[in-house]
A and B are shown apart, each in its own frame.
Chain A
Amino acid sequence: MKSMNRTLFYVPLAIFLVMVVYFAFGLTRDARVLPSVLINKPVPPLVLKPIEGSVRGFSTDDLKNQVTLVNVFGSWCIACKVEHPFLMELKKSNVVPIYGIDWREVNRKDGPAWLKRFGDPYTRIGDDPKSKAAIAFGVTGAPETFIVDHRGIIRYKHTGPLNYEIWRSTIGPIVDQLRRDQVKAKGTS
Protein backbone atom coordinates (compact mmCIF):
# COMPACT_ATOMS: atom_id res chain seq x y z
CA MET A 1 0.00 0.00 0.00
CA LYS A 2 2.70 2.40 1.04
CA SER A 3 4.91 1.62 -1.95
CA MET A 4 1.96 2.06 -4.26
CA ASN A 5 1.43 5.45 -2.75
CA ARG A 6 5.00 6.37 -3.53
CA THR A 7 4.66 5.24 -7.14
CA LEU A 8 1.66 7.52 -7.47
CA PHE A 9 3.93 10.52 -6.95
CA TYR A 10 5.93 9.52 -10.03
CA VAL A 11 2.90 9.52 -12.32
CA PRO A 12 2.97 13.29 -13.08
CA LEU A 13 6.66 13.08 -13.99
CA ALA A 14 6.00 10.15 -16.33
CA ILE A 15 3.13 11.93 -18.05
CA PHE A 16 5.26 15.03 -18.45
CA LEU A 17 8.13 13.11 -20.03
CA VAL A 18 5.77 11.61 -22.62
CA MET A 19 4.57 15.11 -23.43
CA VAL A 20 8.14 16.29 -23.91
CA VAL A 21 8.65 13.65 -26.58
CA TYR A 22 5.69 15.04 -28.49
CA PHE A 23 6.93 18.60 -28.13
CA ALA A 24 10.35 17.65 -29.36
CA PHE A 25 8.68 16.06 -32.36
CA GLY A 26 6.56 19.16 -32.84
CA LEU A 27 9.68 21.31 -33.03
CA THR A 28 11.36 19.21 -35.69
CA ARG A 29 8.20 19.03 -37.72
CA ASP A 30 7.12 22.58 -37.93
CA ALA A 31 10.02 24.81 -37.53
CA ARG A 32 13.15 23.71 -39.26
CA VAL A 33 12.37 21.26 -42.00
CA LEU A 34 9.57 22.66 -44.05
CA PRO A 35 9.98 26.30 -44.95
CA SER A 36 13.03 26.41 -47.14
CA VAL A 37 13.89 22.83 -47.89
CA LEU A 38 11.65 22.44 -50.90
CA ILE A 39 13.31 25.15 -52.93
CA ASN A 40 15.00 23.55 -55.96
CA LYS A 41 13.29 20.25 -55.23
CA PRO A 42 10.56 18.69 -57.34
CA VAL A 43 6.97 19.41 -56.42
CA PRO A 44 5.85 16.59 -54.11
CA PRO A 45 3.76 14.06 -56.06
CA LEU A 46 0.14 14.86 -55.37
CA VAL A 47 -3.28 14.54 -56.85
CA LEU A 48 -5.65 17.23 -55.69
CA LYS A 49 -9.38 16.77 -55.93
CA PRO A 50 -11.49 19.50 -57.53
CA ILE A 51 -13.30 21.97 -55.34
CA GLU A 52 -17.02 21.69 -55.07
CA GLY A 53 -18.94 22.60 -58.22
CA SER A 54 -15.90 22.02 -60.43
CA VAL A 55 -14.82 18.84 -62.21
CA ARG A 56 -11.10 19.33 -62.56
CA GLY A 57 -8.56 19.38 -59.80
CA PHE A 58 -4.90 19.04 -60.71
CA SER A 59 -1.97 16.76 -60.15
CA THR A 60 1.75 17.39 -59.97
CA ASP A 61 2.17 16.23 -63.57
CA ASP A 62 -0.08 19.04 -64.78
CA LEU A 63 2.56 21.52 -63.66
CA LYS A 64 5.22 20.15 -66.01
CA ASN A 65 6.26 21.58 -69.38
CA GLN A 66 5.31 25.11 -68.40
CA VAL A 67 6.32 27.72 -65.84
CA THR A 68 3.55 28.08 -63.29
CA LEU A 69 2.64 29.80 -60.09
CA VAL A 70 1.08 27.69 -57.37
CA ASN A 71 -0.91 29.90 -55.04
CA VAL A 72 -2.24 28.78 -51.68
CA PHE A 73 -5.40 30.58 -50.61
CA GLY A 74 -8.53 30.20 -48.54
CA SER A 75 -11.78 32.09 -48.23
CA TRP A 76 -11.04 32.54 -44.51
CA CYS A 77 -7.78 34.35 -45.17
CA ILE A 78 -7.93 38.12 -45.03
CA ALA A 79 -4.57 38.65 -46.70
CA CYS A 80 -5.73 36.48 -49.63
CA LYS A 81 -8.53 38.94 -50.15
CA VAL A 82 -5.91 41.70 -50.33
CA GLU A 83 -3.86 39.78 -52.85
CA HIS A 84 -6.83 38.70 -54.94
CA PRO A 85 -7.27 41.76 -57.22
CA PHE A 86 -3.64 41.46 -58.30
CA LEU A 87 -4.09 37.78 -59.20
CA MET A 88 -7.10 38.83 -61.31
CA GLU A 89 -4.83 41.33 -63.08
CA LEU A 90 -2.28 38.59 -63.75
CA LYS A 91 -4.99 36.36 -65.14
CA LYS A 92 -6.28 39.15 -67.40
CA SER A 93 -2.84 39.86 -68.80
CA ASN A 94 -2.31 36.11 -69.24
CA VAL A 95 1.38 36.18 -68.27
CA VAL A 96 1.57 32.97 -66.31
CA PRO A 97 -0.90 30.22 -65.41
CA ILE A 98 -1.84 30.20 -61.72
CA TYR A 99 -2.72 26.93 -60.05
CA GLY A 100 -4.69 27.39 -56.86
CA ILE A 101 -4.70 25.30 -53.71
CA ASP A 102 -7.85 25.99 -51.73
CA TRP A 103 -6.56 25.38 -48.24
CA ARG A 104 -8.44 24.37 -45.09
CA GLU A 105 -11.95 25.53 -45.87
CA VAL A 106 -14.25 24.99 -42.92
CA ASN A 107 -17.10 24.33 -45.28
CA ARG A 108 -16.46 22.86 -48.76
CA LYS A 109 -18.78 25.46 -50.26
CA ASP A 110 -16.85 28.44 -48.86
CA GLY A 111 -14.00 28.40 -51.41
CA PRO A 112 -16.21 28.17 -54.52
CA ALA A 113 -18.56 30.83 -53.11
CA TRP A 114 -15.62 33.16 -52.48
CA LEU A 115 -14.32 32.70 -56.02
CA LYS A 116 -17.78 33.21 -57.44
CA ARG A 117 -18.13 36.45 -55.62
CA PHE A 118 -14.71 37.98 -56.25
CA GLY A 119 -13.69 36.25 -59.48
CA ASP A 120 -11.57 33.20 -60.30
CA PRO A 121 -7.96 33.93 -61.29
CA TYR A 122 -6.91 30.27 -61.42
CA THR A 123 -6.23 27.95 -64.33
CA ARG A 124 -7.08 24.99 -62.15
CA ILE A 125 -7.87 24.60 -58.48
CA GLY A 126 -7.26 21.71 -56.11
CA ASP A 127 -9.08 21.29 -52.85
CA ASP A 128 -6.96 20.78 -49.74
CA PRO A 129 -9.24 20.57 -46.71
CA LYS A 130 -6.88 18.38 -44.67
CA SER A 131 -3.67 20.31 -45.42
CA LYS A 132 -2.12 17.37 -47.29
CA ALA A 133 -0.81 19.53 -50.10
CA ALA A 134 -0.05 22.44 -47.79
CA ILE A 135 2.18 20.24 -45.65
CA ALA A 136 3.82 18.65 -48.68
CA PHE A 137 4.63 22.11 -50.01
CA GLY A 138 5.72 23.30 -46.59
CA VAL A 139 3.18 26.07 -46.49
CA THR A 140 3.57 28.26 -43.42
CA GLY A 141 0.52 30.41 -43.92
CA ALA A 142 -1.80 31.76 -46.55
CA PRO A 143 -1.38 33.32 -48.97
CA GLU A 144 1.78 31.71 -50.24
CA THR A 145 2.98 31.48 -53.82
CA PHE A 146 5.45 29.04 -55.36
CA ILE A 147 7.15 29.39 -58.71
CA VAL A 148 7.45 26.00 -60.40
CA ASP A 149 9.62 25.57 -63.49
CA HIS A 150 8.94 23.46 -66.60
CA ARG A 151 10.49 20.36 -65.04
CA GLY A 152 8.15 20.62 -62.06
CA ILE A 153 10.82 21.94 -59.69
CA ILE A 154 9.98 24.56 -57.08
CA ARG A 155 12.24 27.53 -57.68
CA TYR A 156 10.94 30.22 -55.41
CA LYS A 157 8.51 30.75 -52.59
CA HIS A 158 6.83 33.97 -51.59
CA THR A 159 5.02 34.21 -48.27
CA GLY A 160 2.31 36.84 -47.92
CA PRO A 161 0.17 38.67 -50.43
CA LEU A 162 1.55 39.33 -53.92
CA ASN A 163 1.30 42.79 -55.38
CA TYR A 164 2.62 44.70 -58.33
CA GLU A 165 5.78 45.81 -56.52
CA ILE A 166 6.76 42.26 -55.63
CA TRP A 167 5.90 41.08 -59.10
CA ARG A 168 8.08 43.70 -60.72
CA SER A 169 11.04 43.25 -58.40
CA THR A 170 11.20 39.48 -57.87
CA ILE A 171 8.49 37.16 -59.13
CA GLY A 172 8.26 38.59 -62.65
CA PRO A 173 12.04 38.43 -63.40
CA ILE A 174 12.25 34.87 -62.06
CA VAL A 175 9.33 33.75 -64.22
CA ASP A 176 10.95 35.38 -67.28
CA GLN A 177 14.28 33.73 -66.55
CA LEU A 178 12.66 30.31 -66.12
CA ARG A 179 10.80 30.79 -69.40
CA ARG A 180 14.09 31.48 -71.19
CA ASP A 181 15.57 28.39 -69.56
CA GLN A 182 12.65 26.36 -70.84
CA VAL A 183 13.11 27.59 -74.40
CA LYS A 184 16.85 26.88 -74.22
CA ALA A 185 16.18 23.39 -72.87
CA LYS A 186 13.86 22.73 -75.79
CA GLY A 187 16.45 23.95 -78.26
CA THR A 188 19.16 21.62 -76.99
CA SER A 189 17.07 18.48 -76.60
Chain B
Amino acid sequence: MEWKDLLIQNFDVSLVAMERTLQGLTQEDLDWQPKPDCNSIGWITWHVSRILDYASSLFAEEEQLWIKDGWYGRFNRPADPEDRGRHTPEQVAAFKSPDADTMIAYYRVALEKFKQYLSTVSSYDLDRQINDEFSQILPTLGSRINAILRETQQHLGQIAYIRGQLQGYGWVELIK
Protein backbone atom coordinates (compact mmCIF):
# COMPACT_ATOMS: atom_id res chain seq x y z
CA MET B 1 0.00 0.00 0.00
CA GLU B 2 1.18 3.50 -0.87
CA TRP B 3 0.35 6.63 1.13
CA LYS B 4 -1.63 7.81 -1.87
CA ASP B 5 -3.78 4.64 -1.71
CA LEU B 6 -4.71 5.60 1.81
CA LEU B 7 -6.33 8.76 0.47
CA ILE B 8 -8.02 6.95 -2.41
CA GLN B 9 -9.45 4.34 -0.05
CA ASN B 10 -10.83 7.15 2.06
CA PHE B 11 -12.84 8.25 -0.96
CA ASP B 12 -13.91 4.64 -1.61
CA VAL B 13 -15.28 4.39 1.90
CA SER B 14 -17.19 7.63 1.35
CA LEU B 15 -19.27 6.03 -1.43
CA VAL B 16 -20.23 3.10 0.79
CA ALA B 17 -21.18 5.54 3.57
CA MET B 18 -23.20 7.67 1.17
CA GLU B 19 -25.13 4.72 -0.25
CA ARG B 20 -25.88 3.41 3.23
CA THR B 21 -27.08 6.75 4.58
CA LEU B 22 -29.35 7.54 1.62
CA GLN B 23 -30.80 4.05 1.27
CA GLY B 24 -34.60 4.05 1.49
CA LEU B 25 -35.00 7.79 2.12
CA THR B 26 -37.97 9.56 0.53
CA GLN B 27 -37.73 13.00 -1.06
CA GLU B 28 -39.46 14.37 2.01
CA ASP B 29 -36.75 12.80 4.21
CA LEU B 30 -34.04 14.21 1.95
CA ASP B 31 -35.47 17.73 2.22
CA TRP B 32 -36.09 17.57 5.98
CA GLN B 33 -34.31 20.26 8.03
CA PRO B 34 -34.07 19.86 11.81
CA LYS B 35 -34.33 23.66 12.02
CA PRO B 36 -35.08 26.23 9.30
CA ASP B 37 -31.42 27.27 8.94
CA CYS B 38 -29.93 23.74 9.01
CA ASN B 39 -28.79 21.89 5.92
CA SER B 40 -30.84 18.89 4.80
CA ILE B 41 -29.45 15.50 3.79
CA GLY B 42 -30.35 16.21 0.16
CA TRP B 43 -28.71 19.63 0.11
CA ILE B 44 -25.49 18.31 1.70
CA THR B 45 -25.27 15.34 -0.66
CA TRP B 46 -25.76 17.59 -3.67
CA HIS B 47 -23.18 20.08 -2.34
CA VAL B 48 -20.53 17.38 -1.74
CA SER B 49 -21.06 15.93 -5.21
CA ARG B 50 -20.80 19.40 -6.73
CA ILE B 51 -17.48 20.01 -4.95
CA LEU B 52 -15.96 16.81 -6.33
CA ASP B 53 -17.20 17.57 -9.85
CA TYR B 54 -16.16 21.24 -9.66
CA ALA B 55 -12.71 20.47 -8.27
CA SER B 56 -11.67 17.72 -10.67
CA SER B 57 -12.85 19.86 -13.59
CA LEU B 58 -10.87 22.80 -12.33
CA PHE B 59 -7.71 20.73 -11.82
CA ALA B 60 -7.96 18.74 -15.06
CA GLU B 61 -9.34 21.68 -17.08
CA GLU B 62 -12.34 19.72 -18.28
CA GLU B 63 -16.01 20.56 -18.40
CA GLN B 64 -18.06 19.58 -15.34
CA LEU B 65 -20.30 16.52 -15.58
CA TRP B 66 -22.98 18.79 -14.09
CA ILE B 67 -23.05 20.63 -17.44
CA LYS B 68 -21.61 18.12 -19.91
CA ASP B 69 -23.90 15.23 -18.95
CA GLY B 70 -26.90 17.37 -18.06
CA TRP B 71 -27.07 16.53 -14.34
CA TYR B 72 -28.32 20.03 -13.63
CA GLY B 73 -31.50 19.09 -15.52
CA ARG B 74 -32.09 16.05 -13.32
CA PHE B 75 -31.72 18.29 -10.27
CA ASN B 76 -33.97 20.90 -11.86
CA ARG B 77 -31.32 23.60 -11.49
CA PRO B 78 -29.73 26.11 -13.89
CA ALA B 79 -26.85 25.08 -16.17
CA ASP B 80 -24.41 27.10 -14.07
CA PRO B 81 -20.96 25.64 -13.28
CA GLU B 82 -20.76 27.93 -10.21
CA ASP B 83 -24.00 26.56 -8.72
CA ARG B 84 -22.48 24.42 -5.98
CA GLY B 85 -24.02 25.57 -2.73
CA ARG B 86 -22.49 28.74 -1.32
CA HIS B 87 -25.97 29.41 -0.08
CA THR B 88 -27.97 31.52 2.34
CA PRO B 89 -30.42 29.72 4.69
CA GLU B 90 -33.23 30.76 2.34
CA GLN B 91 -31.54 29.09 -0.60
CA VAL B 92 -30.89 25.95 1.46
CA ALA B 93 -34.56 25.81 2.50
CA ALA B 94 -35.65 26.28 -1.12
CA PHE B 95 -33.48 23.39 -2.35
CA LYS B 96 -35.59 20.49 -3.63
CA SER B 97 -33.93 17.08 -3.80
CA PRO B 98 -34.42 14.68 -6.63
CA ASP B 99 -34.91 11.06 -5.46
CA ALA B 100 -32.18 9.19 -3.59
CA ASP B 101 -31.16 7.15 -6.65
CA THR B 102 -30.44 10.32 -8.65
CA MET B 103 -28.46 11.77 -5.74
CA ILE B 104 -26.36 8.62 -5.36
CA ALA B 105 -25.85 8.34 -9.12
CA TYR B 106 -24.46 11.88 -9.37
CA TYR B 107 -22.25 11.35 -6.32
CA ARG B 108 -20.94 8.13 -7.87
CA VAL B 109 -19.95 9.71 -11.22
CA ALA B 110 -18.49 12.83 -9.57
CA LEU B 111 -16.44 10.68 -7.19
CA GLU B 112 -15.30 8.40 -10.02
CA LYS B 113 -14.15 11.42 -12.00
CA PHE B 114 -12.31 12.83 -9.00
CA LYS B 115 -10.61 9.49 -8.33
CA GLN B 116 -9.62 9.16 -11.97
CA TYR B 117 -8.03 12.57 -11.79
CA LEU B 118 -6.30 11.64 -8.53
CA SER B 119 -4.81 8.54 -10.18
CA THR B 120 -2.99 10.81 -12.65
CA VAL B 121 -1.47 13.00 -9.91
CA SER B 122 2.11 12.32 -8.83
CA SER B 123 3.75 13.67 -5.70
CA TYR B 124 5.56 16.21 -7.92
CA ASP B 125 2.18 17.73 -8.79
CA LEU B 126 1.18 18.37 -5.19
CA ASP B 127 2.77 21.80 -5.03
CA ARG B 128 1.26 22.92 -8.34
CA GLN B 129 -0.52 26.26 -7.90
CA ILE B 130 -4.26 26.33 -8.43
CA ASN B 131 -5.76 29.64 -9.48
CA ASP B 132 -9.27 30.51 -8.42
CA GLU B 133 -11.09 32.35 -5.65
CA PHE B 134 -9.64 30.00 -2.97
CA SER B 135 -5.99 30.45 -3.99
CA GLN B 136 -5.20 32.62 -1.00
CA ILE B 137 -6.10 29.99 1.61
CA LEU B 138 -5.53 26.82 -0.46
CA PRO B 139 -2.80 27.68 -2.95
CA THR B 140 -1.59 24.22 -4.03
CA LEU B 141 -3.07 21.06 -5.46
CA GLY B 142 -1.96 19.17 -2.34
CA SER B 143 -3.81 21.54 -0.04
CA ARG B 144 -6.93 21.23 -2.22
CA ILE B 145 -6.92 17.42 -2.15
CA ASN B 146 -6.57 17.62 1.62
CA ALA B 147 -9.46 20.08 1.93
CA ILE B 148 -11.73 18.12 -0.41
CA LEU B 149 -11.15 14.88 1.48
CA ARG B 150 -11.90 16.57 4.80
CA GLU B 151 -14.96 18.33 3.52
CA THR B 152 -16.35 15.18 1.89
CA GLN B 153 -15.96 13.08 5.04
CA GLN B 154 -17.26 15.79 7.35
CA HIS B 155 -20.39 16.27 5.28
CA LEU B 156 -20.92 12.50 5.18
CA GLY B 157 -20.77 12.44 8.95
CA GLN B 158 -23.40 15.17 8.98
CA ILE B 159 -25.89 13.35 6.77
CA ALA B 160 -25.59 10.24 8.96
CA TYR B 161 -26.24 12.41 12.02
CA ILE B 162 -29.28 14.03 10.39
CA ARG B 163 -30.68 10.61 9.50
CA GLY B 164 -30.25 9.59 13.14
CA GLN B 165 -32.14 12.70 14.20
CA LEU B 166 -34.91 11.97 11.72
CA GLN B 167 -35.33 8.27 12.39
CA GLY B 168 -33.82 7.76 15.83
CA TYR B 169 -31.20 5.44 17.24
CA GLY B 170 -30.93 2.16 15.34
CA TRP B 171 -31.53 3.43 11.79
CA VAL B 172 -28.28 1.77 10.69
CA GLU B 173 -29.70 -1.61 11.73
CA LEU B 174 -33.07 -0.89 10.10
CA ILE B 175 -31.62 -0.73 6.60
CA LYS B 176 -29.46 -3.86 6.85
**Are A and B a genuine interacting pair, yes or no?**
no
Chain A residues in contact with chain B, CB under 8 A?
A: none
Chain B residues in contact with chain A, CB under 8 A?
A: none
